[in-house]
C-alpha cells in the first residue's frame, strides 16, 4: 500500500502511524527492529539537517533495502523542509511523503509554493503535508520550562487553516493544539477541544501531530480517537534514549574501540521507545 492508502486505513480504523526521525544508522536499525517486532507500518522521516548528514540517495537506498529484506512497510517522509528546491529533490529521489514547512514565510508565499509542489508530488502518487503555524520548542531535552504564551502563539486557528487547506489542496495538515517540539520538565497539555474544531473545519484532510515526545499516552489516544490524528512525529524521546544508552555503554566498556560492539544495547534502548509508541498509536499488528 502507498502512503495515502495507509493514512486512509489509519483514519478509518482509528490508529496513527509513527513518524520517527532518523539521524544515524543506529536509530534507523532501531526503527526497523521495532516495526518488525510489532508488525507495524512506520514512517521514517528526515529533516533537512538529517538529509544533509546522511545524504538523500543513501536514505532512499537504506529504506528500500530494509523493506525488501524484512518485508515491512516503511513510508519515507521529508520532515519540516522550508526549501522548495530540496522538497523537489526529495520528490524526484523517491520519498513518499513530503512536508513543506512554509510557516516562517508570508502566508501568500506559503500557499503559492504549496500549489507549485503539490502537482509534482501528486503526479508521482505522493502525499504532501503543509502548515501555517510555527510549532514551539525544539527537538531536545529542555531544562527550562516553555511558557504558555510561546505555545499559544502557534495554536492553529481552524478557519484560517481551512482557508489554507482549501486554497492549496494539501493532503495532510500539521495541526498545533498544545503539542510542542521537545521534552520539558512539565509537559504542556494538549487542547482536545481545539483539535475537535480543527477536525470539524476540514474533515476530509488528514491531520498530523508533531511533537509526539513527552505527551502522555492517554492524551495521545484522545488525539487519535477524537481528532482522528493519523500521523504522529517522534524524535526527542529516541534521541534521549540513544544518548543515555551510548553514555552507559561507553562507561561500561572503557577499553572498547570497536564501536559496533557497544551499539546493540544502544539500539535496543531506542527500539523500546519505538515499540512503546507503536503500541500507544494502535498500529501494532496492522501488517
Residue 246 has, within 13 A of its CA and on its CB side, a CA count of 12
What global pTM score does this model have?
0.94
Residue given cell 561500561 in the structure block: 252
- 226-259 burial, b at 16+ Cβ within 10 Å, e below that, comes to ebbbbbbbbbbbbbbbbeebbeebeeeeeeeeee
List, for residues 45-77, the tens digit of each pLDDT value: 999 999 999 999 999 999 999 999 999 999 999
- What is the average pLDDT across 2-14? 97
* pLDDT at 158 (0 to 100): 97
List, for residues 140-163, the tens digit of each pLDDT value: 888 888 877 778 888 999 999 999
Which is more confident, 247 or 135? 247
Partners of 134 in beta bridges: none
In which band, very low, low, confident or very high, does the pLDDT at 207 lie, cut at 50, 70 and 90?
very high
Domains and CATH numbers, the chain: 3-238+269-281 (3.20.20.70)
Which residues contact residue 43 at a Cβ distance below 8 angstroms, ignoring those fewer than 6 apart?
Answer: 17, 18, 19, 20, 74, 75, 76, 77, 97, 231
List, for residues 210-244, the tens digit of each pLDDT value: 999 999 999 999 999 999 999 999 999 999 999 99
Q: Exactly one of 23, 48, 61, 79 is catalytic; which is it?
A: 79
Residue given cell 513518499 in the structure block: 96
List, for residues 238-283, the tens digit of each pLDDT value: 999 999 999 999 999 999 999 999 999 999 999 999 999 999 999 9
Q: What is the mean pLDDT of the chain?
A: 95
In which band, very low, low, confident or very high, does the pLDDT at 86 lie, cut at 50, 70 and 90?
very high
79 is catalytic: yes
* pLDDT at 139 (0 to 100): 85
- What is the average pLDDT across 182-200? 91
* pLDDT at 148 (0 to 100): 72
* pLDDT at 57 (0 to 100): 95
| Residue 228 Ramachandran class (φ > 0 left, ψ -120 to 50 alpha, else beta) | left
Phi, psi of 131 (to 5 degrees): -155, 155
- What is the average pLDDT across 175-201? 91
Which is more confident, 142 or 117? 117
* pLDDT at 71 (0 to 100): 92
* pLDDT at 252 (0 to 100): 97
Amino acid at each position: 500500500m502507498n502512503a495515502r492508502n495507509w493514512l486512509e486505513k489509519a483514519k478509518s480504523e482509528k490508529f496513527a502511524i509513527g513518524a520517527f526521525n532518523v539521524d544515524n544508522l543506529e536509530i534507523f536499525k532501531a526503527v526497523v527492529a521495532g516495526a518488525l517486532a510489532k508488525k507495524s507500518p512506520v514512517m521514517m522521516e528526515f529533516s533537512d539537517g538529517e538529509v544533509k548528514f546522511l545524504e538523500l540517495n543513501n536514505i532512499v537506498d537504506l529504506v528500500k533495502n530494509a523493506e525488501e529484506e524484512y518485508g515491512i512497510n516503511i513510508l519515507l517522509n521529508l520532515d519540516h523542509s522550508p526549501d522548495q528546491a530540496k522538497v523537489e529533490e526529495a520528490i524526484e529521489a523517491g520519498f513518499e511523503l513530503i512536508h513543506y514547512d512554509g510557516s516562517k514565510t508570508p502566508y501568500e508565499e506559503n500557499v503559492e509554493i504549496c500549489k507549485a509542489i503539490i502537482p509534482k508530488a501528486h503526479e508521482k502518487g505522493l502525499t504532501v503535508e503543509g502548515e501555517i503555524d510555527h510549532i514551539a520548542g525544539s527537538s531536545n531535552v529542555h531544562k527550562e520550562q516553555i511558557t504558555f504564551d510561546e505555545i499559544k502563539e502557534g495554536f492553529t486557528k481552524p478557519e484560517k487553516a481551512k482557508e489554507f487547506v482549501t486554497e492549496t489542496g494539501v493532503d495532510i495538515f500539521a495541526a498545533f493544539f498544545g503539542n510542542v517540539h521537545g521534552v520539558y520538565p512539565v509537559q504542556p497539555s494538549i487542547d482536545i477541544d481545539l483539535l475537535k474544531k480543527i477536525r470539524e473545519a476540514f474533515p476530509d484532510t488528514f491531520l498530523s501531530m508533531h511533537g509526539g515526545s513527552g505527551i502522555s499516552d492517554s492524551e495521545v489516544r484522545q488525539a487519535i480517537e477524537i481528532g482522528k490524528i493519523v500521523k504522529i512525529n517522534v524524535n526527542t524521546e529516541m534521541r534521549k534514549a540513544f544518548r543515555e544508552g551510548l553514555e552507559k555503554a561507553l562507561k561500561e566498556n572503557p577499553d572498547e574501540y570497536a564501536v559496533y560492539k557497544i551499539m546493540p544495547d544502544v539500539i535496543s534502548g531506542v527500539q523500546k521507545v519505538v515499540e512503546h509508541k507503536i503500541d500507544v498509536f494502535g498500529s501494532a499488528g496492522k501488517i
